[in-house]
Every structure is written in C-alpha cells, then in structure tokens.
Amino acid sequence: MKSKSSPTLVSLFSGAGGLDLGFEKAGFKTVWANEYDKTITPTFKANFPSIHLDERSIVAIPDEEIEEIKSKYGRIDGVIGGPPCQSWSEAGAKRGIKDHRGQLFHDYIRFIKILKPKFFVAENVHGLIHARNKESFENIKKMFKKAGYIVKAEVLKASNYEVPQDRERVFIVGYNEDDFNTGYEFPLPVEGPKPTLNDAIGYLSKIKIGTKSKKYLNHDLTPDQTFSPIYMSRNRVRSWDEQSFTILATDRHIPIHPSAPKMVKVAKDKMAFVSGHDYRRLTVRECAEVQTFPSDFAFIYSNVRNGYKMIGNAVPVMLAYHVARRIREDLK
C-alpha cells in the first residue's frame, strides 16, 4: 500500500463539502466523494478540484466499484457523510426509515462493510433521536455494530464549537474494533466567549446586496421577501451580539438580518415588524459565514434558492473540524 501523509477519507452525500472542509482543516484528505444532486455538484467540484467526485446515486454504485476504491487508494482511513435528512426532520414529513431517503442509511453502511475503514462519521438532524424514530435509530446503531464498530452517538450544539449559531445535530461515530480498543470520545465545548453575528458577518454589513466580485462572493438575497404566517409566529431576529438562529435549507425560513430590531408580539403566535425599519433575510454569503465557510469558498448556482439549500444542509465547518480533530489525535 502506498504511504499516506494524511489519513484518507471517502465522503458520501458530500453536499457542498462542509464536513470535508472541516476534516481537511484537521489534517485529513478526501480522495473519493459521492454527491447526486446536480444543483450542488458544481460547487463541490469548484472548491475541491483534486477530489474524484462520483455523481451517481449511491444506490447505483455496485459493490465491485467500491472494492476498486481500495485498490486505487489503499485502505481508506475513514468514511464520512450525512445521509439525506428530510425524512427525519421535525419540519419534514417525518417518515424516517420508511422514506426512501431514510433508507439510504443502508447504502452508507454498505460502503462501510466493503471498505472496512478505521472509523466512520455520520451526521444527521436532531429529529433522528426523537421518540418516534427511536426504534429506527437503535436499528441503525445495531447495523453499525454488526459491521464491527464501536459506536457512539451524541447531539452536538454547534454554538459550543466556534460556530455563531444555535444549531443542533446528531453525530454517530464508529471506531473499527480491529483498530481501536475503545470508542470515540466527543469533544468538550470550546472554552471562552462564543462567536456572535457581528464576529461572523459584521464585515459584510456595508456591502450592497447583489455585489458580485471575487472579494464578496454570493452576496445574493432570495427574491421572495414575503413572510408567511408561520414565519411571523415568533421572533426571527437576533441582535449583533447574539448567535444566529439555525440556518435552514429553505430560503423562506432564513433568519432576519441583525440590523433590524427584534419583532414584537401583537397576539398569540403572531409577531410584527417594528414600523419604520427595514427587515430582510440574511444573504447567501451571510448564511455561509454563519455556517463558518471561509469567505473564498464559492457557491455555484443559477437559482439563489439552491444556494440557500446547499448551505443550510451543510455541516458547519468548525463543528466538523472539532469532531475530526479528536479522531486525528486517536489515529496517531
């Protein structure tokens, strides 16, 4: 097997590459990736030009080709990825494993059984551990254990890991029993002040919406600035000195920019904007900064809604980094 200066990764359901970028920052190298959504693949290829990207559905990739990954790159150190989360989401249809997207966990496990990496990391929405999904979640963990892994799962708050956002996600980490005697230990929260909206997007506050330059990438705004009754049912504004609400994957649910005052309650489940002030959602770039993507990371899209979608579905880069750093230390 060829010597490797960095532990190698296979990335599944790669999306825009937030998980890959965090692991890269911790010293890992993705050598092979898979993403099926054609509204996202141009972004991944633009930012990770050296990574082989397979654009087929993971279901269509035969076992023989997974074996070929080992032949080409040697033993893969880790498999990372977040299988589609819509079927587990509190905001979605909540069909869980009965939905075909929920069943893609089986293909994620298929890759692990064939590649037999030293570790894997699977990320998903908080809804995965809700009571209604308990049986499915336990079965998923059992499948990982049956494949030969010491499995640990935990809900991580992004705000504890240098991300200016109160986002919660489930991480399942498995260590191969042939390589480790114990399981993964999740990182402790980072000490010190938590980053704020001002830390994340303050530098963009005077940039005109729609500015297109190499310095100010993706400073686009959703064309729909109407707000539904559901959106208006609670305050959607966080101040400059606070952390952002969770960045979601649909543009109509994006939080309001912190330059406006907080909304006021006018009735039960009904808020209103303060008269005389301008309210707008965060731009695509502002959402990316809240997700801790670097300012030179380019999101490629023809429809701005796809920009919001790929950012909202991504793993915050700094959260991925802190998860990865502990694994990197254990591999040493």
Q: Which residues are catalytic?
A: 85
The residue to which tokens 């303060």 are assigned: 274
Q: How far is CA 64 from CA 75, 79, 117, 217, in A?
A: 15, 17, 17, 40
CA distance 287 to 250: 12
Nearest to 286 by CA among 223, 224, 166, 206: 206
CA distance 248 to 244: 11
CA distance 149 to 118: 9
Nearest to 67 by CA among 104, 32, 17: 32
CA distance 10 to 8: 7
Q: Which residues contact 305 (CB under 8 A, 6 or more apart)?
A: 222, 250, 251
Q: Where would I find the beta strands (DSSP E) of the chain?
A: 8-12, 29-34, 52-54, 78-81, 119-125, 149-157, 168-176, 264-267, 270-272
CA distance 83 to 102: 8
The residue to which tokens 């089986």 are assigned: 106
Q: Which residues contact 185 (CB under 8 A, 6 or more apart)?
A: 152, 326
Exposure on the CB side of residue 45, measured as CA atoms within 13 A: 14
Nearest to 311 by CA among 280, 278, 288: 288
Q: Which residues contact 266 (CB under 8 A, 6 or more apart)?
A: 272
